[in-house]
Amino acid sequence: MKNLIGCSVKDLENLALNHGQAAFRGRQIYSWIYNYRNRSKNIDQINVLPLNFRNQLKKDGFIFGELTLREKSLANDGTLKLLLNTRDNESIECVGIPTEKRLTACLSSQVGCPMDCRFCATGKEGLKRSLTSSEILDQILFIENEMNKKVSNIVFMGMGEPLLNIDELLFSIRSINEDFEISQRKVTVSTVAIPKMIRKLSEKSFQVLGKCQFTLAISLHASNQKIREAIIPSAKNYHIKNIIDDCREFVRKTGRRVSFEYLMLNGVNDKLEQADELTDLIKGFQCHVNLIQYNQIEEVEFKQTTSKNAQLFQTRLSNNGINVSFRKSRGLDRNAACGQLRQNANIK
C-alpha cells in the first residue's frame, strides 16, 4: 500500500502526470488531503477526480489514510482523546488539547514504548513497533476532523520514544511544516534522552529539513543521576551530566533553547535542595523548566507533590535565575493527561 498522506504537492503532481492526468489533478488531491473539513478517508470520495483516475489509483495500491477510529473520549475541559487502530490491528492514542487561541495535537510516534519509565502508563506493555510518518500525520487529520478545527501546535508527547523513530519523525515534521503549514517553532519533540541521539537529531534535522527550529524537550524529572535511575530505568545508560552536555551542544548548533520536563513527585524530587541542585546542573545556557503535575496511574506508588511544595520549588528555581513554568494537566478525567496514555486502553 502507498499512503498519500505525507506526499508533497510536487509528489502528487508527478503522481497525476505519471497516470496520464494534468498536474492540477495532483493539486486537487493535495487540497483534499490537507483540508481538515474533509472527513472522508477514501479515494473513492475524492469526487473532484475523474472516476477512471480514482480507479487507477486504487488498482495501483494507493490509499488515503491507514488508521481507523475505534473510540473517542471528551474530557470536561474539552480535551479529546482518540483511540485509533492501525492496519495490523494495533492501537495508538492521540490527544487534541484546545484553548481559545490554539489547538494542540499530542501525537504518538510508536505503538507502545520500550523505555518503561516508572511513572508512565504507556510503557507497561512494552514496544510493539514504530509508526510510519503517514500514521503519525494521520493522527493530526483525525484530531482536526473530530474537533472541526485546524491544529496549530504539535507535541510529540504521546506514546513512544520519538528518537527511536527518528527518520519517520523528521519526515513527519517536514510535512507538518510544509503541508499542514505549521511552523517548526510550534512543534515540540519530547524525549527521555537516548545516548548519541540528541546530536543525531540536530544533524539529521539540517539534512532532512534544512533547518532545526522545533523545540527539544528532555524528560529529565530529576536533579541527579541517582534519582533519575530510580524513576527511569534507561537512565543508567546515559548519565544526567552527559545529557546536559549534549543539550548545550544542541543549543550551540541550532540556536534553539531546550526545555526540561520535570514531573513533580511527592517526596522524591520536590525538595528545595533538589531545586538548587537542578539549578547547578542546567544553569548557563538557553533552557526552560516545565514543572508538571503528576497524574496518577494504578500500577505505581508515586503521589502528586503538594501545591505548596510545587510553588516553593518553582519560586526557588525562579529566584535562582532559571526560566520556569508550571504546566497544568488537561484531560485528567479521561486519562488523557501526561503519562496516562496506554495501548489498548479502555476509554469509556
Three-state SS at 209: helix
Determine whether 335 is exposed, middle or buried from the number of CB atoms within 10 Å of its CB (0-12, 13-18, 19+): buried
- Strand spans (E) along the chain: 2-3, 62-63, 68-74, 80-85, 91-98, 103-106, 110-112, 127-130, 153-156, 187-191, 215-219, 258-264, 287-293, 324-327
Q: Cell 489533478 sits at which residue? A: 25
- Strand spans (E) along 118-269: 127-130, 153-156, 187-191, 215-219, 258-264
Calpha distance 248→246 (Å, rounded): 5
Q: Among 93, 135, 168, 261, which one carries the catalytic annotation?
A: 93
Cβ atoms of 266 and 305 within 8 Å: the answer is yes
Q: Cell 524513576 sits at which residue? A: 231
Establish whether 212 is a catalytic residue: no
Calpha distance 212→204 (Å, rounded): 9
Count of other CB atoms within 10 angstroms of residue 88: 9
Determine whether 76 is exposed, middle or buried from the number of CB atoms within 10 Å of its CB (0-12, 13-18, 19+): exposed
Three-state SS at 92: strand
Calpha distance 8→30 (Å, rounded): 7
Establish whether 298 is a catalytic residue: no
The residues assigned a catalytic role are 93, 338
